[in-house]
Amino acid sequence: MIGIIGGTGFYELLENAEEKTITTPYGNPSAPLKIGKIGSKKVIFIPRHGSKHEYPPHKVPYKANIWALKELGVTRIISITAVGSLKSEIKPGDIVIPDQVVNFTRREDTFYNGPETTHISFDTPFCPEMRKSIIDTLNDTKEFCIHKKGTVIVIQGPRFSTIAESNFYRSQGWDIINMTIYPECVLARELELCYANISLVTDYDTGLKNDPNIKPVSTEEVIRVFKENSEKLKTIIKSVVKKIPEERNCICSKALDGAKISN
């Protein structure tokens, strides 16, 4: 079963879906989960920010969302996010499939708070098998300019970056900026779920230093670019779901092997 987490501007996916309300040990998810099918595969969709975007990035119930998907039988998660670009060659309207993440948030990011001490490996934060399925699908479409890897810096939010902060992120060689991919990715790994991300570039963060005509990001612009591309994204996601292999042979499925410390 495949879980899909929708981001800003992406609140619906499945037609004729069954609605499921679930309570977790970590509270309620962002919204009731929608259960349906894409082809022969069962899919569960949840809007990260709620059905009316009532949860800002720092208030999203990340643990409840991931736990609920696991509880309902999900083994793989496709995450959809809006991101800002930190490089001129990564343009609004492009898609990035990140392979690395840097966390600059201050959020609760583990299910393991003791007494059982657990240290998962996280050198590869996004599922390699799912990234391949996504990239293979995108290679077959001409709808987007695709960047097949990239490092995403995840900030606390809800405010956007200062110029000084954005310049620092650029100086590190990082590619895109976002407010929600972390802690989703690590929480999924702790539950041995596969997680991969499709990032739609909506802006240039604080603009481009050498082009005064490129303005800093605004909420209005993020929504506009995402809405312009949402139908194309839905088509791509449906194609990705069909390509994801049934059997899991990835690091995610064995993330807890040897991770727990016991006497």
In degrees rounded to 5, what are phi and psi of residue 81?
Answer: -140, 150
Where do we find the tokens 């720092």?
58
Catalytic residue among 140, 205, 211, 257: 205
Contact by Cβ (8 Å): 98, 233: no
Contact by Cβ (8 Å): 170, 62: no
Strand 2-6 with 41-47, pairing: parallel
Q: 3-state secondary structure string, 201-258?
A: EEECCCCECCECCCCCCCHHHHHHHHHHHHHHHHHHHHHHHHHCCCCCCCCHHHCCCC
The CA angle 44-178-156, to the nearest 5 degrees, is 105
- Centre a 10 Å sphere on the Cβ of residue 110 and count the other Cβ atoms it contains: 14
Q: Give CA–CA dist 46/113, Å, rounded.
A: 26
203 is catalytic: yes
Q: Which helix (H) or strand (E) holds 193?
A: none
123 is catalytic: no
The CA angle 237-240-242, to the nearest 5 degrees, is 115
Catalytic residue among 109, 175, 203, 211: 203
Q: Which residues are catalytic?
A: 203, 205
